[in-house]
Structure 1
Amino acid sequence: MISTWSLLMRKLLWISLFVAGAASAADAVAPTPAPQSNDAVINMLKSANLSFDVDWNGIPLGDAIINLIPQGKGCYRYESQTRPVGAVRWLYGSPQEVSEFCVKDGVIRPSRYEYNIDKRPKDEFTLSFDWAAKKVTTVKGGKTTVRDLPDVAYDRFGMQQAIRLWVMSVPDTTKRTEAEFVSVDAKDINHYRFAILGHEKVETSVGTIDAIRIDRIDSKTRSTHSWVAPSRDFQVIKLESVNRGDVELKMLTNK
Structure 2
Amino acid sequence: MHRAIFFILAAFSLPASLLADELQPFSASYTADWKQLPFSGTAERNLELQEDGTWKLDFSASMMVAGLNETSWLTLHNGDVQPQKYRYSRTGLGKSKKIKQDFDWNAHVVTGSDRDTPIKATLIQGVQDKSSYQLALQRDIAQGKTSMSYQVFDGDELDTYDFRVLGEESVETRVGTVDAIKVERVRDPTQSKRITILWFAKDWDYLLVRLQQVEKDGKEYQIILENGSVNNKTVKGRS
Note if contact 2:83-2:103 (Cα within 8 Å) is conserved in structure 1.
Answer: yes
CA distance in structure 1 between the aligned counterparts of 2:176 and 2:61, rounded to whole angstroms: 23
| 3-state SS in 1 of match to 2:125 | coil
The CA deviation string for residues 107-130 of structure 1, in whole angstroms up to 9 with x for no partner, is: 111011111124477411111111
Tell me what 1:131 maps to. 105
Q: TM-score, normalised by structure 2?
A: 0.82
> Paired residue for 1:109, among 82, 104, 119?
82
The Cα of 1:11 is off from its aligned counterpart by: 4.8
Tell me what 2:68 maps to. 95
Note if contact 2:5-2:221 (Cα within 8 Å) is conserved in structure 1.
Answer: no
Residue 188 (structure 2) pairs with residue 219 (structure 1):
yes
> Paired residue for 1:182, among 151, 157, 166?
151
CA distance in structure 2 between the aligned counterparts of 1:247 and 1:130, rounded to whole angstroms: 39
CA separation of 1:16 and 1:168: change in aligned 2, threshold 3 A: closer
The CA deviation string for residues 11-62 of structure 1, in whole angstroms up to 9 with x for no partner, is: 5542389xxxxxxxxxxxxxxxxxxxxx93343x211111111112264321
| 3-state SS in 2 of match to 1:252 | strand
CA separation of 1:247 and 1:240: change in aligned 2, threshold 3 A: farther
Note if contact 1:62-1:82 (Cα within 8 Å) is conserved in structure 2.
Answer: yes
| 3-state SS in 1 of match to 2:163 | strand
CA separation of 1:57 and 1:188: change in aligned 2, threshold 3 A: farther
TM-align CA RMSD: 2.5
> Paired residue for 1:7, among 3, 9, 12?
3
CA distance in structure 1 between the aligned counterparts of 2:214 and 2:188, rounded to whole angstroms: 11
Report the more deviating stretch, 240-249 or 222-231. 240-249
The CA deviation string for residues 56-78 of structure 1, in whole angstroms up to 9 with x for no partner, is: 22643211111111124752111
Structure 2 unmatched runs, 5+: 228-239
Note if contact 1:227-1:239 (Cα within 8 Å) is conserved in structure 2.
Answer: yes
Pairwise mapping of residues 10-159 of structure 1 onto structure 2 (< 5 A)?
Answer: 10-11=6-7, 13-15=9-11, 40-43=19-22, 45-57=23-35, 59=37, 60-72=39-51, 75-84=54-63, 88-89=64-65, 93-119=66-92, 122-159=96-133
CA distance in structure 2 between the aligned counterparts of 1:121 and 1:100, rounded to whole angstroms: 26
Q: How many residues align?
A: 219
CA separation of 1:73 and 1:103: change in aligned 2, threshold 3 A: farther
| 3-state SS in 2 of match to 1:254 | strand
Instruction: Letter of the 1:8 partner, please give it.
Output: A
The Cα of 1:233 is off from its aligned counterpart by: 1.3
Structure 1 unmatched runs, 5+: 18-38, 172-176
Identity rate of aligned residues, in percent? 24
CA distance in structure 2 between the aligned counterparts of 1:153 and 1:247, rounded to whole angstroms: 31
CA separation of 1:95 and 1:251: change in aligned 2, threshold 3 A: same
| 3-state SS in 2 of match to 1:167 | helix
CA separation of 1:11 and 1:199: change in aligned 2, threshold 3 A: closer
The Cα of 1:207 is off from its aligned counterpart by: 1.2
Greater relative contact order: 1 or 2 (C-alpha under 8 angstroms, separation 6 or more)?
A: 2
| 3-state SS in 2 of match to 1:40 | coil
